[in-house]
Chains A and B, each alone.
Chain A
């Protein structure tokens, strides 16, 4: 794999196949509790680490155990279970060793870490990477893409707080429409062929 391919793979995972705006994963954490940019960066980092760990842990499980033993039907069960275990471990680690992060997340740690982005990383890592190294790279790029989308969406939400919108659109609906417009912008990167 040369440098151009490596860069292309990273750009594809961060922009053209962004977890949030293109694959529509991990929107729960975006919608629920991001009140400031620092919280958004914290959530992005915590979920990003989980996304990377999910890709790194589930790729060997799928490629070295489930597929060779013809246990493909356990793919869904094991991926959900692995995500739940990872989420539980993250909650414990954050509560015990990272009090600053726990205080910033304030009670929605479990929601932030048990979301579809982490499960998506576990599910799609097997199909998106051909080797363990590629899976690690893909996981890191996906985590970076999640962090980028999280920061962008939170910036939009902070601006929306000072604008007047119809009462029916307040909260979740307007966040979804803003996310849709962001997804249109990210869709432009698909045309570049990265």
Chain B
């Protein structure tokens, strides 16, 4: 027969399970259970320790399992709600899975510059920066990667984030990715980044403007959204490259930094800020012309 129990503090094994208070070692087995045997104490009257007990709650200064129980209930409720939201989102996305035709329509809409206003808004903050084709290409890739990564991350987080913080979260994620890619780009293209100076963070405003244009794709599922982000970034890159080429060729008479043959005297105005606006106007007019031509052909 077991004389002494293995319980801490030399407690007697009386064949019953120890109470939670006993397990933590806060009370002895002889001490009666607080909730059942405590003499009635009207709310608001100080107890023996001089403290006013909270109505319906455990006495102060004592760790209560009810506190942990309430935390557990809260966790279970929030986890259950998040699981429900994830399942609902998965059902919605399975139901609205984009097929090949949808992606073709998207490709046509973005790369044929159907929604030029979105691209124009994205172009505005970049106007100063695009002075040469390599810089334009670098910025285009930077913005495309930021759009892709930020939308992927936001899609993953969208199930567990409340809808009210969606816009704030989007800005934070875009700012984070721009800051990270800025460090990477500075290491890879130091000369171009020195030329741009402090202007690179302005690409974040461009990303935020372009991100607003993707709101329609957000309900279609992650594949569709990421495809839309890539196509939007690519269409912006094409326009940036055209502006960069125009300014570099006319303003400096070089192509990707290589001097062009012939005795053309460069138009210095194209290297100035005014040249940026003029090149932006010319290229966007060309885009509008091509779009109008396409619409007229479809009309016939």
Contact = CB atoms under 8 A, between A and B. Distances in A.
B85 to A, nearest CB: 25
Interface stretch (B26-34, B92-100, B103-111, B168-176): B168-176
Interface in B241-300: 269, 272-278, 280-282, 284-286, 288-289, 292
A181 to B, nearest CB: 7
B224 interface: no
B127 interface: yes
- Secondary structure of the B contact surface, majority rule: helix
A75 B175 CA distance: 10
B205 A76 contact: no
Contacts of B117: 172
Contacts, number: 133
A103 interface: no
Interface stretch (A4-12, A34-42, A116-124, A139-147): A116-124
A148 interface: no
Contact of A114 (B178, B208, B280): B208
A127 B269 CA distance: 26
A81 B120 contact: no
Nearest to A170: B288
Interface stretch (A20-28, A45-53, A93-101): A20-28
Interface in A25-81: 25, 27-28, 31-32, 73-77, 79-81
Interface residues of A, number: 46
Interface string A159-194: 000000011111111111101110110010000000
B272 A76 contact: no
Nearest to B201: A76
30 contacts: A21-B274, A24-B128, A27-B127, A28-B209, A31-B120, A31-B124, A73-B179, A74-B179, A76-B204, A80-B174, A80-B178, A80-B179, A81-B172, A84-B168, A84-B171, A84-B172, A115-B125, A119-B201, A168-B286, A168-B292, A172-B116, A172-B120, A172-B288, A173-B284, A177-B277, A177-B281, A179-B281, A180-B275, A180-B277, A180-B280
User: Across chains A and B, which 3 residue pairs bring their CB atoms closest together, nearest first?
Assistant: A180-B277, A176-B281, A80-B175
Interface of A: 21-25, 27-28, 31-32, 73-77, 79-81, 84, 88, 111, 114-116, 119-120, 123-124, 127, 166-177, 179-181, 183-184, 187
